[in-house]
Amino acid sequence: MNTDEGHRSKGELVAPAEEEDVVEDTESKDGELVEIQDEDVEPLKVAPSPIQPSQADIEEHRLTHVPYRSWCPECVEGRGLGEQRGRHAGRAHEIPVVGIDYFYITEHGLQTRSELTFAEDGEGDKLLTDARRKGDIVKCLVIRCFESKNVFAHVVPCKGDDEDKIVANLVVVDFSWLGHVRLIFDSDQGNALVALVMRTVGILRFKVAGLESLTTEQSQTHDSHANGATAVGIRSVRGLFRSLKLCLQRRIGKALPAQHPLTSWLLDHTCLLLNAQVRGEDGRTPWARIRGRASGPRLIGFAGQVL
- State how far the Cα of 197 lies from the Cα of 44, in Å rounded to an integer: 65
Report the pLDDT value the prediction gives residue 88, as an integer from 0 to 100. 47
**Average of per-residue pLDDT across 297-301:** 82
Least confident of 169-183, 199-213, 262-276, 281-295: 199-213
Give SS3 for 99.
strand
**Average of per-residue pLDDT across 230-259:** 90
Residue type, 42: E
- State how far the Cα of 218 lies from the Cα of 195, in Å rounded to an integer: 12
| Model pLDDT for residues 99-113, shown as the tens digit of each residue | 998 888 887 778 888
Check whether 265 has a pLDDT greater than 60.
yes
Check whether 81 has a pLDDT greater than 70.
no
* CATH 3.30.420.10 describes domain 94-289: yes
Q: In sequence order, which residues have a C-beta less than 8 Å from that of residue 278 and are 6 or more positions away?
A: 66, 67, 236, 285, 286
Report the pLDDT value the prediction gives residue 305, as an integer from 0 to 100. 81
- State how far the Cα of 11 lies from the Cα of 166, in Å rounded to an integer: 92
Report the pLDDT value the prediction gives residue 191, as an integer from 0 to 100. 84
**Average of per-residue pLDDT across 248-275:** 92
| pTM of the predicted protein model | 0.70
Evaluate whether 204 touches 175 at the Cβ level (below 8 Å): yes
Please indicate whether residue 113 or residue 41 has the higher confidence score (pLDDT): 113
Q: Which residues pair with 110 in a beta bridge?
A: 105
% of the chain with per-residue pLDDT over 70? 77
| Model pLDDT for residues 148-169, shown as the tens digit of each residue | 999 999 998 876 667 678 889 9
Report the pLDDT value the prediction gives residue 116, as an integer from 0 to 100. 85
Evaluate whether 222 touches 188 at the Cβ level (below 8 Å): yes
Report the pLDDT value the prediction gives residue 33, as an integer from 0 to 100. 65
**Alpha-carbon Rg of the chain, whole angstroms?**
31
- State how far the Cα of 174 lies from the Cα of 286, in Å rounded to an integer: 13
Check whether 135 has a pLDDT greater than 50.
yes
Check whether 280 has a pLDDT greater than 70.
yes
Q: Are strands 182-188 and 213-219 parallel, antiparallel or unpaired?
A: parallel
Alpha carbon 139 to its chain centroid, in Å, reads 19
| Model pLDDT for residues 171-230, shown as the tens digit of each residue | 999 999 998 988 888 888 888 888 888 988 888 888 877 888 888 888 765 554 556 778
DSSP state of 80: T
- Tell me how crowded residue 53 is: count the other CB atoms within 10 A of its CB: 14
**Average of per-residue pLDDT across 77-98:** 65
- State how far the Cα of 43 lies from the Cα of 51, in Å rounded to an integer: 22
Report the pLDDT value the prediction gives residue 42, as an integer from 0 to 100. 72
Evaluate whether 201 touches 39 at the Cβ level (below 8 Å): no
Alpha helices by DSSP H, listed for the chain, are 3-9, 55-62, 73-79, 122-134, 166-178, 191-207, 228-252, 261-277, 286-291
- Buried residues in 133-153 as b, exposed as e (16+ CB within 10 A): eeebbbbbbbbbbbbbbbbbb
Most confident of 22-26, 45-49, 264-268: 264-268
Check whether 275 has a pLDDT greater than 90.
yes
Report the pLDDT value the prediction gives residue 32, as an integer from 0 to 100. 64
CA angle (249, 252, 112) in 5-degree steps: 20
Report the pLDDT value the prediction gives residue 143, as an integer from 0 to 100. 93
Report the pLDDT value the prediction gives residue 151, as an integer from 0 to 100. 95
Per-residue H/E/C for 101-158: EEEEEECCEEECHHHCCCCCCHHHHHHHHHHHHHCCCEEEEEEEECCCCCEEEEECCC
Check whether 145 has a pLDDT greater than 70.
yes
Average predicted confidence (pLDDT) for the chain: 80
